[in-house]
Amino acid sequence: MSGIFATLKRICSERDGRLGLAFTCLILMFALVGPLVSPDPNAIDIKARFAAPGLAHLLGTDNLGRDLLARTSVGTRYALTLAVIIVVISSIIGSLIGIIAGIVGSWIDRAVAAVFDIVNAFPPLILAFALIALYGNGSATFVLLVTVVFIPQFGRMARARAKTLRNLSFIEAERMLAVHPITIVVRHYLPNVAGPIIVLASMNLPVVIAFEASLSFLGFGVQPPKSSLGTLIKDGFISINQSWWPTVAAALVLAIATLGATLLGEALRRVIDPKSTRAR
Amino acid sequence: MTDAISISNAELRFGETAALDGVSLTIPQGTCFGIVGESGSGKTTLMRAVLGLQKLDQGEICVLGNPLVPGRAALKQRASFIQPIFQDPAASLSPRSRISTMMNEVGTVLREPHAALFERLGVILNRLGLPQSVIEKYPHEISGGQARRVAIARALLMKPSILIADEPTAGLDVSVQGDLLNLLQDIRQSDNITLVIISHNLAIVRLIAENAVVMRSGKVVEGGEVGSLFKSPREAYTCELLAAWPSVTRAPALNR
Reduced 3-state DSSP string for B77-105: HHHHHEEEECCCHHHHCCCCCCHHHHHHH
C-alpha span between A183 and B122 (Å, rounded): 24
Each residue of A77-118: pLDDT tens digit?
888 998 999 999 999 999 999 999 999 988 999 999 999 999
CA-angle at B44, arms to B41 and B50, nearest 5°: 120
Closest CA to B128 of B144, B110, B107, B151: B151
Q: Does residue A40 carry a pLDDT above 80?
A: no
DSSP label of A137: S
Name the residue of chain B whose CA is nearest to A183's CA.
B105
pLDDT at A280: 40
Contact of A174 with chain B, judged by CB distance below 8 Å, is answered with yes
Contact at CB, B105 and A177, closer than 8 angstroms: yes
The residue-averaged pLDDT of A251-268 equals: 89
Checking ipTM against 0.90, whether it exceeds it is: no
- Give the best residue of B92, B156, B163 to mutate against chain A (max A CB count within 10 A): B92
Name the residue with higher pLDDT: B1 or B120. Answer: B120
Name the residue of chain A whose CA is nearest to B154's CA.
A177
The residue-averaged pLDDT of B102-110 equals: 92
Residue A229 phi/psi, 5-degree rounding, is -60, -35
Q: Does residue A236 carry a pLDDT above 80?
A: yes
Mean pLDDT of all residues in chain A?
Answer: 85
Name the residue of chain A whose CA is nearest to B111's CA.
A179
pLDDT above 70 covers a percentage of chain A that reads 96
The residue-averaged pLDDT of B127-131 equals: 88
Q: What is the dihedral of CA B228, B234, B237, B243, to 10 degrees?
A: 50
pLDDT at A232: 87
pLDDT at A109: 94
What number of C-beta contacts closer than 8 Å exist between A and B? 60
Mean pLDDT of all residues in chain B?
Answer: 87
pLDDT at A8: 83
pLDDT at B177: 80
Candidate from B83, B95, B106 with C-beta closest to A170: B95
Beta bridge partners of residue B212, listed in sequence order: B34, B224
pLDDT at B211: 92
Ranges A186-190, A240-244, A273-277, most confident: A186-190
Contact at CB, A177 and B96, closer than 8 angstroms: no
Contact at CB, B105 and A183, closer than 8 angstroms: yes
Distance from CA of A154 to the nearest CA of B (A): 21
Q: Does residue A242 carry a pLDDT above 70?
A: yes
Compute CA distances A235 → A31, A40, A45, A134, A218, whole Å.
Answer: 20, 18, 16, 26, 11
Contact of B86 with chain A, judged by CB distance below 8 Å, is answered with yes
Contact at CB, B79 and A176, closer than 8 angstroms: yes
pLDDT at A105: 87
pLDDT at A278: 46
pLDDT at A1: 57
What domains lie within chain A, and their CATH numbers?
Answer: 2-46+63-276 (1.10.3720.10)
Candidate from A177, A191, A192 with C-beta closest to B106: A177
A169 neighbourhood in chain B, CB within 8 Å: 86-88, 91-92
Contact in structure between A86 and A147 (CB atoms under 8 Å): yes
Contact of B116 with chain A, judged by CB distance below 8 Å, is answered with no
CA-angle at B246, arms to B241 and B251, nearest 5°: 145
Distance from CA of B89 to the nearest CA of A (A): 8
Q: Does residue B8 carry a pLDDT above 60?
A: yes
Q: Is the four-CA dihedral B179, B184, B187, B192 of positive or negative sign? A: negative
Beta bridge partners of residue B20, listed in sequence order: B12
pLDDT at A137: 74
Contact at CB, A168 and B91, closer than 8 angstroms: yes
CB within 8 Å of A270: residues ≥ 6 apart: A14, A17, A277
Q: Does residue B13 carry a pLDDT above 90?
A: yes
Contact in structure between B161 and B193 (CB atoms under 8 Å): yes
What pLDDT band is residue A276 in, cutting at 50, 70 and 90? low
Contact of B158 with chain A, judged by CB distance below 8 Å, is answered with yes
Contact of A2 with chain B, judged by CB distance below 8 Å, is answered with no
What pLDDT band is residue A48 in, cutting at 50, 70 and 90? confident
Q: What is the dihedral of CA A38, A41, A44, A45, to 10 degrees?
A: 20
Contact of A178 with chain B, judged by CB distance below 8 Å, is answered with yes
The residue-averaged pLDDT of A138-147 equals: 81
Q: Does residue B181 carry a pLDDT above 50?
A: yes
What pLDDT band is residue B136 in, cutting at 50, 70 and 90? very high
Distance from CA of B94 to the nearest CA of A (A): 5
CA-angle at B140, arms to B134 and B141, nearest 5°: 40
A10-14, A136-140, B122-126, range with the lowest pLDDT? A136-140
DSSP label of B57: S
A176 neighbourhood in chain B, CB within 8 Å: 51, 53, 79, 83-84
Each residue of A148-195: pLDDT tens digit?
889 999 999 999 999 999 989 999 999 999 999 999 998 889 888 988
Distance from CA of B253 to the nearest CA of A (A): 48
C-alpha span between B59 and B77 (Å, rounded): 21
What pLDDT band is residue B249 in, cutting at 50, 70 and 90? low
Contact of A173 with chain B, judged by CB distance below 8 Å, is answered with yes
- Give the best residue of A104, A161, A176, A184 to mutate against chain B (max B CB count within 10 A): A176
Contact in structure between A93 and A151 (CB atoms under 8 Å): yes
Closest CA to B183 of B128, B140, B238: B128
Candidate from A173, A178, A180 with C-beta closest to B92: A173
Contact of B93 with chain A, judged by CB distance below 8 Å, is answered with yes
Q: Which of residues 55-74 of B touch A (CB under 8 A)?
A: 72
pLDDT at B115: 93
Candidate from B72, B83, B101 with C-beta closest to A176: B83
Class of domain B5-81+161-250: alpha beta
Domain boundaries, chain B: 5-81+161-250, 96-159
